[in-house]
Structure 1
Amino acid sequence: MSGWHENAAMQAAPTLMAATQAIADGQAAPVTARVLCTDLAGLRSQALGLAEAAGFRTDFRVIAPKRPWTLFSPMLWPDPRCAIDAAALAPPEGDLMLGAGGAAARVLATLRRPDLPAVIIQHPRMDTGRFDAVVVAKHDGLTGPNVIVTRTALHRVTPERLALERALWAPHFAGLPRPLVAVLVGGSNGRYRLDTAAARTLAEQLAGMMDRDRVGLMLTPSRRTEPAARAILDEALRPRGAWIWDMQGENPYFGMLAVADAIVVTGDSVSMVSEAVATDAPVMIARLPGKSTRIGAFMDDMVACGRARNFDGRLQTWATAALNDTPMAAAELRRMLGV
Structure 2
Amino acid sequence: MPTAPSEPQALEPPAGVWLLTSYRAGDNAQVLGLAEALGWRFAIKSLRFRKTEFITNRLLGSTLAGVIDPGASALAPPWPDLVISAGRRNEPVARWIQAQARRASPPQRTRLVHLGRPWADPRHFDLIVTTPQYRVPARANVLTIGAPLHRVTAAGLAAAARKWAPVLAALPRPWIAILVGGSSPPYVFDAAMARDLARQANALARQRGAALLVTTSPRTRPEAAAALRDAIAQPAFFHDWTPDPDANPYLGLLALADEFIVTGESMSMAAEACSTGKPVHLFDMGWGWSAMRPPGHPGLAASRGIGEALAPQRLKHWALAHLLPERVRRDVRVILRRLVEEGHAAWLGDPAPAAGKPAPDDRAAAVARVRALFARPR
The amino acid across from 2:82 in the alignment is L
- 1:123 aligned to 2:160? no
Kindly state the Cα deviation for residue 316 of structure 1 after the two structures are TM-superposed.
Answer: 5.4
SS in 1 for 2:17: strand
Match of 2:25 among 41, 49, 66: 41
SS in 1 for 2:354: coil
Kindly state the Cα deviation for residue 210 of structure 1 after the two structures are TM-superposed.
Answer: 2.1
Kindly state the Cα deviation for residue 233 of structure 1 after the two structures are TM-superposed.
Answer: 1.8
- 1:268 aligned to 2:305? no
Change (3 A) 1:78 1:178: closer
Tell me the distance in 1 between the aligned counterparts of 2:350 and 2:248: 26
Partner of 2:155: 160
Is the contact between residue 277 and residue 344 of structure 2 (CA under 8 Å) also seen in structure 1? no
Partner of 1:137: 131
Partner of 2:312: none
Change (3 A) 1:99 1:190: same
- 1:240 aligned to 2:234? yes
Is the contact between residue 114 and residue 127 of structure 2 (CA under 8 Å) also seen in structure 1? yes
Kindly state the Cα deviation for residue 149 of structure 1 after the two structures are TM-superposed.
Answer: 1.5
Kindly state the Cα deviation for residue 101 of structure 1 after the two structures are TM-superposed.
Answer: 1.3
SS in 1 for 2:45: strand
Tell me the distance in 1 between the aligned counterparts of 2:342 and 2:47: 36
Tell me the alpha carbon deviations over residues 19-40 of structure 1, each in whole angstroms, 9 at most, x when there is no partner: 44xxxxxxxxx65310113321
Which is worse superposed, 206-215 or 258-267?
206-215
Partner of 1:257: 254
- 1:61 aligned to 2:45? yes
Tell me the distance in 2 between the aligned counterparts of 1:204 and 1:316: 21
Partner of 2:173: 178
Tell me the alpha carbon deviations over residues 14-64 of structure 1, each in whole angstroms, 9 at most, x when there is no partner: xx94x44xxxxxxxxx65310113321111111111111111222111232
Change (3 A) 1:141 1:247: closer
Kindly state the Cα deviation for residue 186 of structure 1 after the two structures are TM-superposed.
Answer: 0.9
Q: Percent of pairs identical after alignment?
A: 32
Match of 2:94 among 99, 103, 108: 108
Tell me the distance in 2 between the aligned counterparts of 1:120 and 1:158: 22
**TM-score of the two chains, using structure 1 as the length reference:** 0.84
SS in 2 for 1:177: coil
Kindly state the Cα deviation for residue 225 of structure 1 after the two structures are TM-superposed.
Answer: 1.6
Tell me the distance in 1 between the aligned counterparts of 2:235 and 2:26: 30
SS in 1 for 2:20: strand
Kindly state the Cα deviation for residue 168 of structure 1 after the two structures are TM-superposed.
Answer: 1.7
Which is worse superposed, 74-83 or 275-284?
74-83
Partner of 1:98: 84
Which is worse superposed, 70-79 or 98-107?
70-79
Is the contact between residue 345 and residue 356 of structure 2 (CA under 8 Å) also seen in structure 1? no
- 1:337 aligned to 2:321? no
RMSD: 2.6
- How many residues get paired? 315
Partner of 2:144: 149
SS in 2 for 1:170: helix
Match of 1:285 among 252, 259, 282: 282
Is the contact between residue 209 and residue 313 of structure 1 (CA under 8 Å) also seen in structure 2? no
Is the contact between residue 181 and residue 263 of structure 1 (CA under 8 Å) also seen in structure 2? yes
Kindly state the Cα deviation for residue 279 of structure 1 after the two structures are TM-superposed.
Answer: 1.2
Partner of 1:317: 354
Tell me the distance in 2 between the aligned counterparts of 1:202 and 1:82: 41
Kindly state the Cα deviation for residue 90 of structure 1 after the two structures are TM-superposed.
Answer: 2.9
Tell me the distance in 1 between the aligned counterparts of 2:346 and 2:62: 45
SS in 2 for 1:35: strand
SS in 2 for 1:144: coil
Partner of 1:51: 35
SS in 2 for 1:50: helix
Tell me the distance in 2 between the aligned counterparts of 1:236 and 1:133: 45
Structure 1: runs of 5 or more not aligned:
1-5, 11-15, 21-29
Tell me the distance in 2 between the aligned counterparts of 1:230 and 1:211: 21
Tell me the distance in 2 between the aligned counterparts of 1:202 and 1:314: 17
Is the contact between residue 64 and residue 92 of structure 2 (CA under 8 Å) also seen in structure 1? no
- 1:76 aligned to 2:73? no
Partner of 2:70: 86
**TM-score of the two chains, using structure 2 as the length reference:** 0.76
The amino acid across from 1:158 in the alignment is T
Kindly state the Cα deviation for residue 92 of structure 1 after the two structures are TM-superposed.
Answer: 4.2
Tell me the distance in 1 between the aligned counterparts of 2:351 and 2:188: 22
Change (3 A) 1:75 1:337: farther
Change (3 A) 1:83 1:193: closer
- 1:203 aligned to 2:198? yes
Tell me the distance in 1 between the aligned counterparts of 2:359 and 2:185: 30
Is the contact between residue 17 and residue 82 of structure 2 (CA under 8 Å) also seen in structure 1? yes
